[in-house]
Amino acid sequence: MKWAIGCLAGACLISGLHAESASQMPASPPGAAPHWSYDGSKGPSHWAEIDKAFQACESGKSESPVNINTTTKAPPNTPRIQFFYEAMPVHLLNTGHAIQFGAQPSKDSVTLAGRRYQLIQFHFHSPGEERFAGRASPMDMHLVHADADGKLLVVAVQFIVGPRPNPVLGALLQDMPQHAGGETMDKAVMINPSGLLPEPTSGYYTYSGSLTTPPCSEGVTWIELKEPVRISAAQLKAMRRFYYHNQRPIQPLNGREVIEVD
């Protein structure tokens, strides 16, 4: 089933990536991680007030997530993204904002237009962060990659409820760290991220955006896969026990094009 713009919907947690300062607001004390959240006085509308490194969260002009509604068709000869994922042992972190899988340095990567991006981590948002004609999916996954120069590329996968559980997500749920700051490493269980991708890999939408969490750094290439992946209702419920509504509000496109690649 194709992910239709008119029917459903869909960051990145990378420490050490900071947007340029845009004010004289004092920084957090050395060694202290600025605390932010998805609601209240530390929520998205206040992120830029929390730390001077977060100024792009308010002043950025190419922020994510966006509402995908009107798109421009890519030329037929447009280079397509290619996936080269392999199995790796489980390494899960409960960040306090999402459940995150840490990839190991290996051959796990994607290529786009001849450039290779190494998989760093993937994590989950519920509901999905990107919107499609104003609507969000029940859950999404962001696979965060970086090239040799540190330029980021994020692949977003949308999840919908189907009749059968997803085996890879099922395996991850067995090892989920229950509390914020918790970490699980299980070398006995091997996970291939390909099992969380649609099969076959569908067309996608792409645009230039940002991290969807502080520091909201821009210059991130987004790849939004059209085809959703099915998970069971029980799996969605289990994931939402960890985090629900860890979703940044929609950001204006400000003239950016969303390119549709078939």
CA nearest neighbour of 140 among 261, 248, 260: 248
**Tens-place pLDDT, residues 82-131:** 999 999 999 999 999 999 999 988 778 999 999 999 999 999 999 999 99
Residue 145 falls within a domain, yes or no?
yes
Buried b (16+ CB within 10 A) or exposed e, 97-118: bbbbbbbeeeebbbbbeeeebb
Number of structural domains, the chain?
1
- 42 in a domain, yes or no? no
Q: What is the pLDDT of residue 32?
A: 56
pLDDT at 102: 96
Give the pLDDT mean for 211-218: 98
pLDDT at 107: 75
Nearest to 88 by CA among 102, 98, 76: 102
98 found inside a domain: yes
Which CATH number goes with the domain that contains 171?
Answer: 3.10.200.10
Exposed/middle/buried for 59, CB within 10 Å: 0-12, 13-18, 19+? middle
Query: Average of pLDDT values for 10-33?
Result: 38
Residue 28 has pLDDT above 80, yes or no: no
Residue 181: is its pLDDT beyond 70?
yes
pLDDT at 199: 82
Q: Is residue 165 part of a domain?
A: yes
3-state secondary structure of 35: coil
What's the confidence (pLDDT) of residue 34? 87
Q: Would you say residue 147 lies in a domain?
A: yes
- Cα 41 to the chain's mean position, in Å? 24
User: What single-letter DSSP state applies at residue 16?
Assistant: T
The C-alpha atoms of residue 21 and residue 50 are separated, in whole angstroms, by 12
Residue range 137-145: mean pLDDT, rounded: 98
C-alpha distances out from residue 188 to 90, 222, 248, Å? 8, 32, 35
Instruction: Report yes or no on 31 lying in a domain.
Output: no
In a domain, residue 39? The reply is: no
- Between 90 and 30, the more confident residue is 90
Question: Using the 8-state DSSP alphabet, how is residue 135 labeled?
Answer: B
Is residue 5 a part of any domain in this protein?
no
Domain that holds residue 202: 53-261
Active site members: 97
What's the mean pLDDT in 68-81? 94
pTM: 0.88
- 151-179 pLDDT tens trace: 999 999 999 999 999 999 999 999 999 99
